[in-house]
Amino acid sequence: MNTAVHTRTQGSVAILSMDNPPVNGLGLALRSGIVAAIDAAQSDPAIRAIVLTGSDSAFSGGADVREFGTPKSGIAPNLLAVLAAVEESAKPVVAAISGNCLGGGLELAMACHYRVAHAKAALGLPEVKLGLIPGASGTQRLPRLVGVETALNMVVGGAPVAAAKLAGTALLDAVVEDGVVYAAIALAEEVADRPIPQVRARRITEANAEAFIAFARNMVAATAKHFPAPLKCVEAIAAAVKLPWDQGLAAEREIFLALMQSPQSRALRHIFAAERAASKLPDLPADTALRSIASVGVIGAGTMGGGITMNFINAGLPVVLLETSQAALDKGLATIARNYESSVKKGKLKPEQRDQRLGLITPALEYAALAKVDLVVEAVFESIDVKETVFRQLDAVLKPGAILASNTSYLDLNRIAGFTRRPADVVGLHFFSPANVMRLLEIVRGEATAPDVLATSMALAKKIKKIAVVAGVCDGFIGNRMLARYGAAASGLIDVGATPQAVDSALQGFGLAMGPFRMGDLAGLDIGWATRKRRAAESGQALKPGVADRLCEAGRFGQKTGSGWYRYEAGKREPIADPATDAIIAAQRQALGITPRQVSAEEVVQRCIYALVNEGARILAEGIAARASDIDVVYLNGYGFPQHRGGPMRYADEVGLANVLRALRRFAAEPGADPSWQPAPLLLSLAEAGKSFT
Ligand code: NAD
């Protein structure tokens, strides 16, 4: 008995229902269940036609991701064999499609002889998003059914299309508003005795096919520079146009297998798995009861507080926004209103939606206004004294069971929790700037943070559409702690001979949207300067000024002052090399007694990226991050790390840890080298054992 496919009959029609929740992923049980049920229908003389259907929410979402990388994915029948069984059925098969019909799911539907869909069903071939092309005849069938232009859009873009929009194409024999299965049964009865149509027999006769393909090639070449898959999607469809069925299918297969081996697809599949893994914590039971979060407080309406507020009101959660003065409150509210206004102008938001969201904010100057909220996010100045004042007041007014969260970037969350009589209710919710845009949320787990506070925070992250990664307490948590090493490596390169332009352009060549010095100018150099001065003061030592400090001493804070590492023309953001910076750098080198040397782009990438990797390995060994892939998720979503590299830890695996180790040893052995170049013990042991972070 196969439980993944249920068969019932109505008259002379067999109705095969796929049942592999949640999305009818085409795992082994479902694949063999479909073949068995199709075979059984062949040998039953009472059956004249077959309907294949799924659930209301999914005909099939495609490959079963839970099977990825397990032996099951390789066991017969594979998807192509399933499609062959369906297509070669001597009795017509009608697909009844509701909900998602994606990837292998759409390929399965296209192997059926007829298709009926609910108007809102979502049909698509999203493989390109994993750096692949559809690998089971999708690129050959779709252009035969919807035409070359629509097929190119769907396969190259990867976005699903509503069935209603595909009505009238040969892909869908009928589109209905309800009763999909009934409509499919009616069609099955109607066609039972007709000759069976096959997609493979269709010819592509469009006059403009070649022109569409040439156009797509040019478009894709210009936009998908780090990724081979989009162009390969075009090539596979070109093969469908040019070649007979069998040869087209072989071309698709060859491209698919080559892409499976490409580092870009491996990186994208790694990211997909990493983001799923990040939402689960090994020591947090999946059934942990959640606290209800129906209203929120935000303390501080500055850069971060404003963006954080927008996240909550976008998700329909009312926010009490507290500031120290009416002026600060007005300023923060005006910024929020301006942000929504620009969305309205761009047509992304309706005016009534803006009004509805702004209406969810209750401005406040008194802590008493927070008495009823379920959670508070504090986003005041980054000073432990200010945090203490705020948390003591929160502790005094918040109801029992409320969650107290801090958006601190670096400060000790355990100390902050200690300012309250309820440290178990305190957690870090570290948003990234701009908080209404960036997808990452670092959830900082304090020593005392209760499991249900953590679980509630993770559920809340999902509600406000963030990707959450849990971090332990240390200076800078996962992301900023690593960033400090990256920044130090970049500055070190300037000291020994590189220019800011050379460092930025090497890292941009690696794939980062912006090198560290352009990024510094954008963010403002004064922030790091203040932090370094504070840390020096805390450690009782005088700050040894580096070039960045010298720039700040000269009033060069970056774009906001018109100059930093670069200079900027009024109103423009284009960085221009500045001899004044060169002079400051030269003076620094002289003071350090350094004769400048040549620095290659390769050395820049190695030092900056391996600095991240080495600190990542320490973070992992200390348990600050639960998995290497969590670190990748942080860097990809919070720091603009290039997707096609899969994250710093994944990149190190791709390079080979033995190679990373060799480079680190070389850097560590240089005279006067910073001790942080010493290879992290975890990296050392993995490399020596021939292992990887993954
Ligand atoms: P900001 O200076 O823009 O805003 C801070 C706001 O807090 C100001 O509007 C101020 O009036 C208000 N404030 C100060 N003391 C207060 C008090 N006692 N009660 C109520 N309001 C008070 O600062 P920001 O950049 O938004 O940073 C806020 C926090 O977020 C800091 O802890 C910072 O480390 C963290 N953070 C900042 C970024 C970033 O990129 N700016 C990113 C992540 C986290």
Determine if ligand 1 sits within 6 Å of the CB of residue 119: no
Determine if ligand 1 sits within 6 Å of the CB of residue 563: no
pLDDT of residue 454: 97
- The matching CATH number, chosen from 3.10.20.600, 3.40.30.10, 3.30.200.20, 3.40.50.720, for 296-471 is 3.40.50.720
pLDDT of residue 1: 54
CA angle 371, 375, 377 (to 5 degrees): 110
pLDDT of residue 74: 84
pLDDT of residue 282: 84
Atom of ligand 1 at shortest range from CA of 380: 7
Residue with CA at minimum distance from ligand 1 atom 25: 303
The token duo for 348 is 């992304």
pLDDT of residue 205: 86
Distance, CA 33 to ligand 1 centroid (Å)?
57
Judge contact between 651 and 629, C-beta under 8 A. no
For the chain, which residues score pLDDT lower than 50?
A: none
Atom of ligand 1 at shortest range from CA of 387: 18
Determine if ligand 1 sits within 6 Å of the CB of residue 379: yes
Determine if ligand 1 sits within 6 Å of the CB of residue 428: no
The token duo for 428 is 């870090």
Question: In a mutational test of the pocket of ligand 1, which residue from 380, 385, 438 has the highest number of ligand atoms less than 8 Å from its CB?
Answer: 380
Report domain extents, the chain: 5-260, 296-471, 524-596
Catalytic residues: 107, 127
Determine if ligand 1 sits within 6 Å of the CB of residue 659: no
Q: Which fold has domain 5-260?
A: 2-enoyl-CoA Hydratase; Chain A, domain 1 (3.90.226)
Distance, CA 306 to ligand 1 centroid (Å)?
10
* CA–CA distance, 374 with 320 (Å, rounded to integer): 11
Write b or e for each residue in 479-515: b if 16 or more Cβ atoms lie within 10 A of its Cβ, otherwise e. Answer: bbbbbbbbbbbbbbbbebebbbbbbbebbeebbbebb
* CA–CA distance, 398 with 375 (Å, rounded to integer): 9
pLDDT of residue 355: 97
Distance, CA 308 to ligand 1 centroid (Å)?
11
DSSP-H helix ranges across 625-680: 628-638, 648-655, 657-668
pLDDT of residue 155: 98
CA angle 234, 239, 242 (to 5 degrees): 125
End-to-end distance of the chain based on CA atoms, in angstroms?
38
Class of domain 524-596: mainly alpha
Around Cβ 329, how many Cβ atoms within 10 Å? 17
pLDDT of residue 70: 82
Instruction: Look at the alpha carbons of 642, 646, 649, 651 in this order and tell me if their dihedral is positive or negative.
Output: negative
pLDDT of residue 72: 85
Determine if ligand 1 sits within 6 Å of the CB of residue 429: no
Residues 6+ apart with CB under 8 A from 286: 280
Distance, CA 319 to ligand 1 centroid (Å)?
17
DSSP-H helix ranges across 289-440: 303-314, 326-345, 351-358, 384-397, 413-418
Q: Closest Cα partner for 196 from 86, 292, 278?
A: 86
Residue with CA at minimum distance from ligand 1 atom 39: 433
Burial of 553 (0-12, 13-18, 19+ CB in 10 A): exposed
pLDDT of residue 2: 66
Half-sphere exposure of 594 (CA within 13 A, CB side): 19
pLDDT of residue 73: 82
Map residue 272 onto helix, strand or coil. Answer: helix
The token duo for 5 is 């496919």
Distance, CA 316 to ligand 1 centroid (Å)?
23
Judge contact between 451 and 288, C-beta under 8 A. yes
Distance, CA 304 to ligand 1 centroid (Å)?
6
Determine if ligand 1 sits within 6 Å of the CB of residue 435: no
Determine if ligand 1 sits within 6 Å of the CB of residue 661: no
